[in-house]
């Protein structure tokens, strides 16, 4: 699978999002639509961006009882996105239910990945706030193995854990990694981060990049830099 950069379109309105995407007159970047934009604009924004020729990662991180997740995924499968996700903490049964709901009658479906631990979560926070006494690395690998058992295509994890996940689950198990910043950029509110070049060395398949591109003085140039450092 070819490596790719996914731009996190963390905007609050259709107008902001389309104005941003209008800057990309050449290559149509792979984009992530998260909770903020989806809750503001609904499914229509997904359809409009898809019609413009973009691949879409719909990042809603479903986490509920299995039956609810199954039904929700059956609705999302109609949006023709390329990737969506659930929280691995929802258990193997919930992930399996999500996969069932996402799979269309003809057997086709988007990629389904599971969130292991958010990149804003440090080991100390995980152990103190969530009362998970294992190390963060062991927890992430365990969650990844559960996702694989459930039949999912891969996981979301920080670039720092992508190598461990590949070692535990195989090279074909997809890793999608946020928490990527340019070496000369600001860290922001994320804890477990790395650079595009280092993410490439580690072997992750996709990196999700938001503010370093969306808030750049020249977003297209920032995207091209990210692609050059990671995917080319």
Q: How far is CA 198 from CA 71, 177, 178, 187, 231, in A?
A: 39, 12, 13, 15, 12
To which residue do tokens 């992530």 refer? Answer: 32
**128 an active-site residue?**
no
Q: How far is CA 201 from CA 173, 184, 231, in A?
A: 17, 18, 11
- Report the distance separating Cα 155 and Cα 34, nearest Å: 16
Instruction: Say if CB 147 and CB 170 are below 8 A apart.
Output: no
- Report the distance separating Cα 69 and Cα 75, nearest Å: 10
Beta strands in 17-117 (DSSP E): 30-33, 56-62, 83-87, 111-115
- Report the distance separating Cα 156 and Cα 135, nearest Å: 17
Catalytic residue among 55, 61, 145, 200: 61
Tell me the torsion sign for CA atoms 202, 206, 207, 213: positive
92-108 CB burial, b ≥16 within 10 A, e <16: bebbbbbbebbbeeeee
Instruction: Say if CB 58 and CB 71 are below 8 A apart.
Output: no
Which residues are catalytically annotated? Answer: 61
């Amino acid at each position: 699978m070819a490596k790719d950069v996914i731009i996190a379109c963390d905007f609050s309105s259709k107008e902001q999002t389309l104005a941003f995407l209008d800057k990309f007159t050449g290559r149509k970047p792979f984009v992530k639509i998260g909770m903020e934009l989806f809750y503001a604009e609904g499914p229509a924004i997904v359809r409009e961006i898809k019609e413009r020729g973009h691949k879409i990662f719909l990042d809603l991180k479903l986490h509920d009882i299995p039956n609810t997740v199954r039904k929700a995924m059956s609705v999302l499968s109609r949006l023709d996105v390329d990737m969506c996700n659930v929280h691995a903490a929802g258990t193997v049964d919930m992930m399996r239910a999500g996969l069932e709901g996402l799979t269309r009658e003809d057997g086709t479906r988007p990629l389904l990945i599971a969130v292991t631990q958010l990149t804003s979560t440090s080991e100390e926070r995980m152990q103190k706030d969530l009362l998970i006494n294992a190390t963060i690395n062991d927890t992430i690998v365990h969650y990844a193995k559960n996702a694989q058992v459930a039949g999912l295509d891969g996981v979301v994890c920080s670039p720092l854990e992508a190598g461990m996940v590949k070692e535990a689950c195989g090279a074909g198990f997809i890793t999608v990694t946020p928490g990527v910043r340019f070496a000369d950029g600001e860290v922001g509110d994320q804890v477990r981060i790395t650079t595009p070049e280092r993410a490439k060395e580690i072997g992750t398949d996709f990196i999700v990049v938001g503010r370093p591109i969306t808030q750049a003085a020249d977003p297209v140039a920032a995207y091209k830099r990210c692609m050059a450092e990671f995917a080319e």
